[in-house]
A = this chain, B = another copy of it.
C-alpha cells in the first residue's frame, strides 16, 4: 500500500563525506500542557537546550501520521529515515528485539502466550493465570526437551515475562505466512495456524505440528497447558542504513528494544549507557569512529508512562546538564528530539508531534532561545514527517547531491 518513494529519492542523492551527524533521542520527549504548569519542556530549567535553540533551528516532527500514536519501533524507524508505514515490524520480531535475541535472516519469530485449555480443548484463560516468570522458565525448559522440529530446523524458546514467551524457528526457506492461533476470547479452541489463507505455507503446517507437540508435552500442567501464537514474522529484508544513507552508523542505547531496532536497520551497537551523562559521553566517544551516532535516553519516556511529571522534568534537566559533554565532540549536525510524545497526564505514548532542535551549518536563524513545544511551532524546520528529519540533517551536512540539472 504505502511506498518508499522519498527514501529511494534520498538514497539516489546520498554521498559520502567526513562530516558527522548525531541524533540524540529523548524517548517520549513531547508533552501536552499539565494544567497551568505547561509542558515538561516548559517547566524544566534547560539553559543548554534553550541556548542551542536560539543558535539552531527548531520544529515539530510527526512520527507516523497525524493523529497516529506510534510504538517504540515505528517512532525510531521514522527517526532513522524509514517510513514506519512502509517498514512495518511484526510482533514476533519486536519480541525478539526486546529480548536482544540475535535474530537472523533465516529466522521466523512469533510471540507466544501461555494459556489454559479445558478438557474440551477450549481456552479458559488466555493468560494462564499470569504465571510467574519462574513458572514460565520451568515450562519452557520442558518444551525445549520435548519439541521435535523437522530436520534442518532449530527451535528457540525464550521467556519474556509472566505468560509471555518468544518462539523462533530457524531454517532454510521458512516463511511467515502463518496464522495467529489466539481465538481472542475464551470458550473457543485455539485456531489452526495453517487454516486459509495460510494453507499453502509449509511453515504454517510446521507450526501446526509443533503446537500439537506442545499440547501433548504440557498435558499434565494445571495452568500453562498450551500456548497461543501470534505475529509470526521473518527478519525483515530492508535496505540497510549504511547503504541507504552512505553513513557508518553507531547506536548508543542501553535498552534492548532500541538496540534491537538499531541493529535491525544495520547499525552497530557500540555501548549501552543508561544515565544522561553516560549517554552523552558514549555518544561523544562514538563520534570519534562513526559519521552517524544514534544516542538513546530512556527515562523521559519511562517517567511519562509512570504519569510522573516531576520525574520527567527532572530527567529533562538531567539531560540538559549532560549536553556539554556531547557538544565538546563537535558533531557537524546535532539533532535533539524524541521518538514520540509521552504526556505524564496520559501515562502513555501519544500522537502529538515531537519538538526537534537542530544545530547545523547553513541555518536561517530567527529562533527564540527557548526549546519547547510552543516555540517549536514557528521554527525554521516547520512541522514535518519524522522520516524527513534525517535527510534534512544530511542536507545540512553536505551529504545530498542536487536533484536534476
Query: Which of A68, A345, A362, A392 counts the most B-chain CB atoms under 10 A from its CB?
Result: A68
8 Å CB interface, A1-45 against B: 1-3, 5-6, 8-10, 13, 31-33, 38-39
This chain's copy number in the assembly: 2
User: Which among B84, B377, B400 is the interface contact of A403 at CB below 8 angstroms?
Assistant: B84
CB-defined contacts of A327 to chain B, threshold 8 Å: none
8 Å CB interface, A351-405 against B: 351-353, 362-366, 373-374, 377-380, 382-385, 388, 391-392, 394-395, 400-405
Q: Does A362 contact B378, Cβ atoms closer than 8 Å?
A: no
CB-defined contacts of A405 to chain B, threshold 8 Å: 71-73, 89, 91, 94
**Interface membership of A350, Cβ < 8 A:** yes
**Interface membership of A132, Cβ < 8 A:** no
CB-defined contacts of A384 to chain B, threshold 8 Å: 66
CB-defined contacts of A383 to chain B, threshold 8 Å: 382
What's the least CB distance linking A249 to chain B, in Å? 18
Bound state CA distance, A316 and B152, in angstroms? Answer: 72
Bound state CA distance, A394 and B65, in angstroms? Answer: 14
What's the least CB distance linking A138 to chain B, in Å? 27
User: Which among B73, B84, B377 is the interface contact of A382 at CB below 8 angstroms?
Assistant: B377
What's the least CB distance linking A337 to chain B, in Å? 15
Q: Does A377 contact B378, Cβ atoms closer than 8 Å?
A: yes
Q: Does A388 contact B67, Cβ atoms closer than 8 Å?
A: yes
**Interface membership of A159, Cβ < 8 A:** no
Q: Does B391 contact A67, Cβ atoms closer than 8 Å?
A: yes
Q: Does A362 contact B382, Cβ atoms closer than 8 Å?
A: no
With A66-B384, A68-B13 in contact, is A362–B377 under 8 Å at CB?
no
CB-defined contacts of A6 to chain B, threshold 8 Å: 65
CB-defined contacts of A13 to chain B, threshold 8 Å: 68
With A32-B362, A352-B364, A363-B32 in contact, is A388–B66 under 8 Å at CB?
yes
Q: List 9 A-B contacts (CB under 8 A).
A: A9-B65, A66-B384, A66-B388, A67-B388, A68-B395, A69-B395, A74-B404, A91-B405, A350-B395
